[in-house]
Structure 1
Amino acid sequence: METYRTDEEQVEALKKWWADNGKSTVLGIVVAVAAVFGWQGWQKQQEGKLAEASASYQSLLEADSAAETDSSKVTTAQHLAETLKADYPGTTYAIFGAMYKAKYAAQINKWEEAEAELRWVLDQKPNDPLLLQAKVRLAHVLLAQKRYEDAQNILAGSELGSYAALIAETRGDILMAQGDKAGALAAYEQAKTELAALENASQNPLLEMKINDLQSAQDGAAEE
């Protein structure tokens, strides 16, 4: 770095530097400040949108609960589900919206619509709990259409964590629908084993009923 011997030389050097670089320096500062405030503004906007999405989701949960006893609330719930999916793309709330849209479509046997929504969810590559939940629901939708092989393929490689029991039970349901009682019983028993391995797992009376019915039928056939 050049060393200046007098104050006058330093002042002249500063003037020259400012003449050569002053405008670009000011512009750089302005751009930097604008970028900071722009980023902060974008963050606030995103926070605001997420707050809106959260409120809409809470309203959806309330409408969905009310629809269990008041069918007129289904229309409200459907609208809220569509709003979540359409207005908040790229968020988990959009995925929740699609899941509920699939639920309402399945309730009136619109299987193709339900399938489309659930496949959209899978395309978003959500985290494992949502991914596995969507796979199980899609398997049931395909089962309702008697597309057994497709249903089994959706569940392939999905034995993860707390969903292992539910997935095994769903496999049993598919096998049962195909008339494979022995295979269904084995899948249900696997589901029971997976469920027992979970901490604080809730009981599944329906699974027990499925196992007992198949075991009784098996025992009766053996006696004959």
Structure 2
Amino acid sequence: MSVETYRTDEEQIEVLKNWWQENGKSIALGIVVAIGLVFGWQGWQKQQDTRSAEAAATYQSLLEADAAVENDSTKLSSAKHFADTLKAEFDGSTYAVFGAMYKAKYAALESDWQTAEQELTWVVEQKPEAPLLLQAKVRLAHVLLAQKRYEDAQQALAGTALGSYAALIGETRGDIYLAQGDKAAALAAYKEAKAELGKLENASPNPLLDMKIRDLESSSEDGADTE
């Protein structure tokens, strides 16, 4: 029976009093829980904002230290520290991926190919956004190439959604073929890379790629002349 069925205001008030005595505690508890959830969410959001700001500040410090390394090698230890911090303290974020990419860079500078490979493999496993993923794969291929692991280097580039990275990936494939001594395959890969580069709007010239093509074409012509 609803409250509206009672004939007098006094009866309605009495019913409301009884209802509150029976249900008031649970309602009050629900209100407290709801308020707690709101403040809990706000606290979590504030914590995330603080964490993001800290990550951004650390990344900026990394960029500054990395830029200084070119003129002052003593800055390398600072750059390494910031890269380590990004990966260790901001796991699950894009900043951690950036940290790993720079850790790989510094390892490669010291010819520590194993560490560079581990860091780049970790990045690939995180499946970041396409640009970062493709950068990591290309760098991983170069690290494997430095170790003369040619098949692994080619495999690192397999299954990629090429997009704007098609030219870079094609050139990298050419480098691998050339290191293996397969000049014909290298020349074909370089020419494919140049064709992909030509498809891009406002693409910057790649004089090194042009030089590679000229050298292989010249080598091919010289070989034909001696036959």
What residue in structure 2 maps to residue 83 of structure 1?
Answer: 85
What residue in structure 2 maps to residue 156 of structure 1?
Answer: 158
- Partners in 2 of 1:17 and 1:122 — Cα distance? 61
Cα distance per residue 1:43-85 (max 9 Å; x no partner): 1110111111111101101110110111001110000000000
- Partners in 2 of 1:159 and 1:207 — Cα distance? 21
Q: Which runs of 4+ in 1 moved over 3 A?
A: none
1:6 aligns with 2:14: no
Indicate if the aligned counterparts of 1:166 and 1:191 stay in contact, CA closer than 8 A. yes
Aligned pairs, number: 224
Instruction: Report deviation, 1:213.
Output: 0.4
Tell me: CA distance 1:189–1:159, structure 2 relative to 1, closer, same or farther (3 Å).
Answer: farther
- Partners in 2 of 1:159 and 1:41 — Cα distance? 40
1:170 aligns with 2:172: yes
What residue in structure 2 maps to residue 121 of structure 1?
Answer: 123
Identity %: 70
- Partners in 1 of 2:64 and 2:208 — Cα distance? 27
What residue in structure 1 maps to residue 66 of structure 2?
Answer: 64
Question: Structure 2: which amino acid aligns with 1:98?
Answer: A
Instruction: Report deviation, 1:37.
Output: 1.1
Question: Structure 1: which amino acid aligns with 2:176?
Answer: I
TM-score, normalisation: structure 2: 0.97
- Partners in 2 of 1:199 and 1:28 — Cα distance? 59
Cα distance per residue 1:108-156 (max 9 Å; x no partner): 1101100110111111110100100000000000001111111101101
In the alignment, structure 2 segments of 5+ residues that lack a partner are: none
What residue in structure 1 maps to residue 29 of structure 2?
Answer: 27
Higher mean C-alpha deviation, range 102-111 or range 152-161: 152-161
What residue in structure 2 maps to residue 183 of structure 1?
Answer: 185
Cα distance per residue 1:86-112 (max 9 Å; x no partner): 111111000000000000001111011
1:197 aligns with 2:210: no
- Partners in 1 of 2:33 and 2:86 — Cα distance? 35
In the alignment, structure 1 segments of 5+ residues that lack a partner are: none
